[in-house]
Amino acid sequence: MKEDYITVPFSGNTEVNTKLVFAGFGISAPDLEYDDYDGIDVKDKIVIVIRNTPDPSTPHSEFDAHSPLRKKASVARDKGAAAIIFVNPYDENKTTDDLVEFSFDRGGSVGGFSAVSIKRIFVEQLFQSEGMNFKEVYDKIIETKKPSSFELKNSSLKYPLK
């Protein structure tokens, strides 16, 4: 299973056993009139967010300032989430689903807050258990540039993953 996920380098050390919430790209940007956290309750839950931005085809997009993983983790923690799971976006030019590279970046941890990178197949299976298709939800966000966040009613997770 370890080849399916990796702890993100800035992860804090904590244990959680709670509900999952899909929070789109994990961006809260009132200046862009875009907020993946609007209308959802993430308090004490694990949020699943897509890496990068909802505007992947625009070089130097306005969303780029909101795309760093550490920023997304801090936003989730500030919104009350217990932990964050990062999943890769779909990319027609790339057939692999690489995990975040584990490398020291000289930054501190996001204290008391766990962060992992997980293979897309895991999230696709979670969505299937909800009667949904992750790729279709992803495509809708990319096409409309509108959030599509919700709690996964049929799923919960214990972290650290075993």
Tens digit of pLDDT for each residue in 61-93? 999 999 999 999 999 999 999 999 999 999 866
Taking CA atoms, 79 is separated from 20, 23, 27, 60, 76, in Å, by 14, 11, 11, 26, 5
Taking CA atoms, 141 is separated from 13, 48, 54, 89, 158, in Å, by 32, 15, 6, 11, 28
pLDDT score, position 16:
81
Tens digit of pLDDT for each residue in 97-107? 776 665 555 55
- pTM, 2 dp: 0.88
pLDDT score, position 1:
46
